[in-house]
Amino acid sequence: MSTADPREPDHDPSPAGGPPVRGHALRSSLTVELSELAALPGSPVPADFAAQPDLRRILDGERTSTWTIGGLGLVGFGRAANVVVTGEGRFTAARAWWDGLLGQLEIADPLARSATGPVAFGAFTFARASSASSGLVLPELVVGHDHDGAWVTLVSERNRLEPADVADAWRRLVPRVFPAGHVDELPAGSAPRQAEDEAAARSWCSAVSDGVELIREGHLQKLVLARAVSVHGRDRPLDIPRALRALARDYDTCWTYCVNVDPDRGPSAGRLFGATPERLVRVLDGTLHARVLAGTLDRAAAPGDQDGTLWARRKLLEDPKQRAEHEFAIASLLQSVAAYTREVRSSADPFVLELPNVWHLASDVAAELTPGADGTVPSALELVEAVHPTAAVCGTPTHAAAEAITQLEGMDRGLYAGPVGWLDSRHNGDFGIALRGGVQRTPALAQVYAGCGVVGASVPEEELAETRAKLRPVLGALGVAADGSAGGS
C-alpha cells in the first residue's frame, strides 16, 4: 500500500496501478566533478571545500538527507521527488517507483561510478505492520565524496542541464560550509531533557525477564528487545543538523544518517537521524558487503587498571553468551543471502569493534552476487528486503521473535532498527540498520531508541545498562546532559 499527498502538484497516480508517482515532471540529471563546479566563475563552492570535501562540513539545513562515514558518502539537499510506502509490499513498491522514475530521466553522468548520477535516500519500518511511513526521497542536489573524488548531481524538470545550473542549485539549496572539524557550541542553559522514568525502566526489565523465560522454555533462541526515550527541547527546537555534525565527527567509523521519508508532514515530523555502526547490506558493482554486530560491552564498565582493548577482547571473545548472540546474527544474514550469492567470505572469528561508547563483536561479510537470467545482479533494495530483519535486531527464529517483540515491547518501532541508506541508478546502494538514533516528532520533541540481544543467560538490569550505553551518543549529540539529569525528567 502506498500513499502520496494529492495536494502536491506533480502527484500523478501510476498508470500501471503501482504506487502513486510524484516527480513525473522530472526530466534529466547532470553530474559534475566538485572541482569543475568550484572552478566556474563566481562559483558558490568555496575553493577550500573543493580541496577538502569532507561532507561533515555541509551537514546543515532542514531538508538535508545524509549518509556519511568519516567525511565520505552522500549529502542530499531539497526534494525533487519522493514516494511514501507502507506495509508488507513497501520494498517492492519503492523499487517500482524508483525504476519508473529512472526510466524517465535523461542521465548525464560522465563519472559513472557507484553513487554518481541520481540517488534516492530511503528508510523502511522495522515491522511490516507499523503505522509509520517508509519511503524514498530523491533530493534535488546531491554532493558525493568517495576515495576517487567528489561530485555534485542535480536532478531537474529541465532538459540539457549545464554546470551553471548545478551552481545555481547549490546557491539556493546548500545553507553553509563549515570549517573542517567544526561543531558549534550548544547555546548555554536550558539543555534538552530526556524523559526517562524509573517506572518505564522497570517495566522494560520485566519485559526482558519475560523474554528470557520464553527462551528458557524453548520458544525462541534469541530475542532483541528495545525501548524508546523522549527528548524534549524545552524552550527551543532540537538542533538535528548540529547533532548530525557532532555524531559524524565523534563517531567517524559509524554511518551518520538522516532522512525524512514523508516530508509533506513538515521538515521535522518523522525525520530519522543517528549514527549507526551496523551495515545491513551494501551492493557495490556486483559484490555484497555487510557488517554484522551483536555482543556489546559498555566502555564505561572497563576496569581502570587494565588495558581496555585487551580486557574487551577477552570479555567479548571468550564469553559464550556474547558469542552465541553473535552467531545467531551471522547465521541469519548468511542464510538470507544464500540464494543471491556465491563465494561468501567472512572470517571464522569475529573482531572487536571499538566505538567511543561501547565495544561490539563484529564480523564483516562479503560475497559475489549471482547474476540472474538477464545478466544483472539483484539491486541493493532487493537484498535489503531479503536480509531484513536480521537476528541482530529481531531474533531467532525470525517470525517467532518478531511476534514476541510486538507483544513484549508494547510499542511500534517505526523506523528504528529498519533499513536506512541510499540507492543509485545502477543497482548499487548502501543500507545500514537505523540504530543509535531517533525520530523527530515535532520541532522540540524526538524519540530515541536502543535495544539489546536477549538470550537464556541475560540479566534484565545488565540489558537496561546496555541500552543506556547505546543511547549515550545520540543523547550527547542532542545536548542532553551525560547523566540524563539535564532538568530532570
Ligand X SMILES: C=C(O[C@@H]1C=C(C(=O)O)C=C[C@H]1O)C(=O)O
Residues that bind ligand X (CB under 6 A): 224, 226, 278, 293-296, 325, 360, 392-393, 435-436, 450-453, 470
Q: Which of 160, 11, 126, 15 is nearest to 79 (CA)?
A: 11
Q: Select 268 or 458, whichever has its Cβ closest to ligand X.
A: 458
Cβ at position 213, least distance to ligand X in Å: 18
- The smaller minimum CB distance to ligand X, of residues 261 and 393, is found at 393
Q: Find the shortest distance in angstroms from Cβ 347 to ligand X.
A: 18
User: Which of 401, 390, 467 lies closest to 433 in space, CA to CA?
Assistant: 390
Task: Compute the distance between CA of residue 303 and CA of residue 202 in angstroms, rounded to an integer.
Answer: 27
Considering beta carbons, is residue 278 or 409 the nearer one to ligand X? Answer: 278
The minimum distance between CB 130 and ligand X, in angstroms, equals 16
Cβ–Cβ < 8 Å for 222, 453: yes
Shortest distance (Å) from residue 301 CB to ligand X? 14
Q: Which is nearer to ligand X, 33 or 319 (CB)?
A: 319
Q: Of 97 and 431, which CB lies nearer to ligand X in the complex structure?
A: 431
Least distance in Å: CB of 322 to ligand X?
7
Q: How many helices (H) and strands (E) does the chain have?
A: 11, 26
Cell 538535508 belongs to residue: 64
Nearer residue to ligand X within complex by CB, 97 or 255: 255
Q: Which is nearer to ligand X, 100 or 350 (CB)?
A: 350
Our CA angle for 356, 361, 363, nearest 5°, is 115
Q: How far is the CB of 286 from ligand X (least distance, A)?
A: 26
In contact, 309 and 172? CB cutoff 8 Å: no
Contact 123, 415 (CB under 8 A): yes
The torsion defined by the Cα of 162, 163, 164 and 168, in degrees rounded to 10, comes to 110
Kindly state the smallest distance separating residue 454's Cβ from ligand X, in Å: 8
The grid coordinates of residue 322 equal 556474547
Helices 398-409 + 198-216 axis angle, to 10: 150
Position closest to ligand X via CB: 453
Q: Which of 298, 395, 378, 376 is nearest to 338 (CA)?
A: 378
Neighbours of 202 (CB within 10 A): 12
Minimum CB distance to ligand X, residue 435 (Å): 4
Q: Which is nearer to ligand X, 264 or 278 (CB)?
A: 278
Beta-bridged to residue 420, according to DSSP, are 123, 432
For the CA atoms of 297, 302, 306, 310, the dihedral, rounded to the nearest 10 degrees, stands at: 10
64 in Cβ contact with 77 (< 8 Å): yes
